[in-house]
Structure 1
Amino acid sequence: MRLSTANMFDASIANLQQRQELMQNAQQRLTSGKRVQTASDDPTGAARAERAGTAIGRVEANQRALDASRNGMTLSEGALGDANEILQQVRETMVSAGNSSYSDSERRGLASKIAELRNQLLSIANRPDGAGGYLFSGQGSSSPPFLDSAAGVRFNGVPGAIQTGNVDNFPLTVDGRQAWEQARTGNGSFVTGPLPNSITGASNKAWIDIGQVTDPSLLTGNAYKIDISGTAPAATYNVTNTTTGAPVASGPYLSGQAIQFDGISMAISGPAADGDAFDVQPSTSDLKIFDVLDKAVADLRTPNRSRNDITQSNALTLRDIDSAMNGLQNVRSQVGERLNNLDGTESRMASLKQYNQAEKSAAEDLDMTQGISDFQNQQTGYDAALKTYSMVQRMNLFQYLNP
């Protein structure tokens, strides 16, 4: 086979260019720290890195949604805490209003205080979330969710809660109706209250307490009526199941003595008059906080009430305030549990992100020690190619004949 000088020159230049390209690629890998810079470098590794990068993107999107949810839940939890503090002030004011030595003027002053606290509570119920919405707007509202009108405060939002819409579906808002308008009435199982005297039509001379459950297994969920007959010391009581019409219990009336039937117990106190009547209704989940406060203000502003009326009104108002506070506290506990869940989810997402970052790094990152070694090898090869080319370049007849 015949080899010409031109062939030797071409082969040397091709080898030199190839060495230069390999050294340049090694230098780029070393500079970027990436073993796989294009899919052609390693199709399998590039696919692994792409899948890991996509997973990291999903985790980061979920993290943003989680941060938004945490912000909303943190603000809601704080608002519910503020609301409970205000209701505690209202409760203390109602306890003071029960003082029998207070005049109507003093009670009107307490009513004004409760009215101011009620307005503060309304501001909390309409508290914005800092992102153009409201914490208690439910599934969204462009205006404050609670509207104050002559008929009272009513929920103007959409029941439910806005979710982030991702796989974990993080909550962004709290159901305002559940928080502010769906506390349990009465003591949570039944509701006691006065009825007009069946003979005179006036208010009762006695008053009834909030009652308690003595045996949950005996609860019927029916409604009852308690009638007082006669006068002391010969007064008696009769309990009728108004749902079925059947008599339930009867006995002599003694002020402050418990009346028990069908797993429940309550006490009627005071100088009961013939015809005094009371009812017992099943508890429902529709107690509205602002209705309770509006009624308390109206009662305190009513002049010339008897001591019995004041005692009965204050007892029922305190009962409803306690129920409202329990309802808010239950919602606050739910929000706190959601925050705990967010913390757990964030930890899980951090682990998932770390795993995918490690997977992406393993697929495309360069082993720096190996990269430096490869670059040095390519540099050595390139130097050798340069020397070889310079030697070949001098191998011609004219240089040989040159003295």
Structure 2
Amino acid sequence: MIRITTANAFNSSIENLQQRQRSLDTAQTQLTSGKRVLNASDDPTSAARAERARALIQRADASQRAIDASRNSMKLTESALGDGVSLVQQARELVVAAGNASYSDAERRDVANQLAEIRKQLMGVANRGDGTGGFVFSGQGSSQPPFLDRPGGVGYVGVGGAVKVATDEPLPLTLDGEQVWLSAPSGNGVFTTAPGAGSGGAWIDAGRVTNPSAITGSSYEVQFSVNAGVTTYSVIRDGVTASISGADFKSGQAIELDGMAFTLSGSPKDGDTFSITPSGPNQSVFDALDKVVNELKTPLRTSAQVTQTIQSGLRDLDTCANQLQSARSMTGEVLNRVDGVETRVGDLKLFGETTRSDAEDLDMIQAISNFQNQQTGYQAAMQSYAAVQRLSLFDYIK
């Protein structure tokens, strides 16, 4: 038979009461904070899972900031390229108007002045700032405007290339301005046609490719000869080989050779020459405008020379406009990709939030039920303690 003393009963009741009070306090704290795991010691495994989830969320937040920066930058770039395309289109319309046969030298000079103003606006677009001290087309960064108007033409003084944000899926912050504004393909993209010095009786079109596999990449020169009123031409390849010799010339009739076709029109003079050279990625929208402006300002030019200026100018402006439009399309694709990356980053963050919540958050319904049970148990323990406290010898003596 075990003897239970009054002191032992009192101590047991107090310990039970204190334990239930601690449990009730813990339940109340969890209910108030909404967290099941308040300290790592509460559940080390769940605490570690929650910590890894928080790190994942932080990486997702950093990626989102990078995405926002890329989106804002690409929106500025797309807007600038749109302005550039619009200005080049205005310039093209003016060049077409300058081809009016009824225009005088003074009227063509007025058109040239308007083109010069458009060129200034294009320089402003090319050197547009990004609002943070940088420039939209600065490539890998520049503290100064990336395009400089020099006596020999516009030069790029930025750093070539592009800056990308550091995310799992790199996104651009800038474009290579030199590639966009100064590196359009010359001519028709495969070869470039041009009149020789002093040629003023005929003009040549931009030409076209008839057989890509036959293109040689050589340089050609069309040489005209006029004898007794009969005009003939020869085509010299790389300065030594006669591809065509002494052929009769007919204005507006295409000349075909080595996968190329081009048309000469007008009345060429004896000794006139025209060149056909391979295209290169060196066509600048500013140089194209400068050439047209200078030629339209030159007085006393023949009708053939004016026509050549208009045709060459339209060809070059169209090439530059296509280059700008291609860059704009690429920027639009980047913006689409930014949206896709943002969706994936959002999904990753949601996964992290869900994992963290599963690891440490409280099931409120279960927590409320548990708190009520703890509260009931604590009240019962208090009543039990009160009952035991009255069971003493002195109570019976009374």
Would you call these one fold, judging by a TM-score over 0.5?
A: yes
Q: Structure 1 residues 171, 15: CA separation in 2 closer, same or farther (over 3 Å shift)? A: same
Q: Which amino acid aligns with 1:242?
A: D
Q: Which amino acid aligns with 1:246?
A: T
Larger displacement relative to structure 2 (50-59 or 253-262): 50-59
**2:144 is the counterpart of 1:143:** yes
Q: Secondary structure at the match of 2:172?
A: coil
2: CA distance, partners of 1:204 / 1:223? 22
Q: Provide the residue aligned with 1:247 in structure 2.
A: 242
Q: Provide the residue aligned with 1:207 in structure 2.
A: 203
Q: How does 1:3-402 map to 2 (within 5 A)?
A: 3-196=4-197, 202-231=198-227, 234-242=230-238, 245-250=240-245, 251-402=247-398
1: CA distance, partners of 2:60 / 2:303? 65
Are the equivalent residues in 1 in contact too, given 2:200–2:302 (CA < 8 A)?
A: no
Are the equivalent residues in 2 in contact too, given 1:232–1:271 (CA < 8 A)?
A: no
1: CA distance, partners of 2:396 / 2:236? 134
Shift of 1:3: 3.3
Deviations 1:9-66 (A, max 9, x none): 2221111111011011111111222111111111111111111111111111101100
Q: Which amino acid aligns with 2:13?
A: S
Q: Size of the alignment, in residue pairs?
A: 396
Shift of 1:397: 1.7
1: CA distance, partners of 2:7 / 2:140? 82
Shift of 1:231: 4.7
2: CA distance, partners of 1:331 / 1:97? 29
Deviations 1:374-393 (A, max 9, x none): 11111111011101111121
2: CA distance, partners of 1:147 / 1:246? 42
Are the equivalent residues in 2 in contact too, given 1:231–1:272 (CA < 8 A)?
A: no
2: CA distance, partners of 1:235 / 1:159? 49
Q: Which amino acid aligns with 2:302?
A: S
2: CA distance, partners of 1:214 / 1:288? 26
2: CA distance, partners of 1:152 / 1:55? 51
Are the equivalent residues in 2 in contact too, given 1:195–1:204 (CA < 8 A)?
A: no
Q: Secondary structure at the match of 1:235?
A: strand
Shift of 1:167: 2.4
Are the equivalent residues in 2 in contact too, given 1:45–1:364 (CA < 8 A)?
A: yes
TM-score, reference length from structure 1: 0.95
Shift of 1:232: 7.6
1: CA distance, partners of 2:48 / 2:312? 69
Deviations 1:282-318 (A, max 9, x none): 0000111111111221111111111111111121111
Q: Which amino acid aligns with 2:151?
A: A
After superposition, the CA RMSD in angstroms is 1.4
1: CA distance, partners of 2:26 / 2:192? 83
Q: Provide the residue aligned with 1:199 in structure 2.
A: none
Q: Which amino acid aligns with 1:163?
A: K
Shift of 1:2: 4.2
- Contiguous gaps of at least 5 residues in structure 2: none
Are the equivalent residues in 1 in contact too, given 2:136–2:175 (CA < 8 A)?
A: yes
Shift of 1:151: 2.9
Q: Which amino acid aligns with 1:355?
A: F
1: CA distance, partners of 2:149 / 2:117? 14
2: CA distance, partners of 1:346 / 1:322? 36
2: CA distance, partners of 1:148 / 1:400? 112
2: CA distance, partners of 1:362 / 1:146? 55
1: CA distance, partners of 2:268 / 2:208? 21
Identical-pair percentage: 52
Shift of 1:277: 0.6
Q: Secondary structure at the match of 1:207?
A: strand
Are the equivalent residues in 1 in contact too, given 2:199–2:268 (CA < 8 A)?
A: no
TM-score, reference length from structure 2: 0.96
- Contiguous gaps of at least 5 residues in structure 1: 197-201
1: CA distance, partners of 2:152 / 2:225? 38
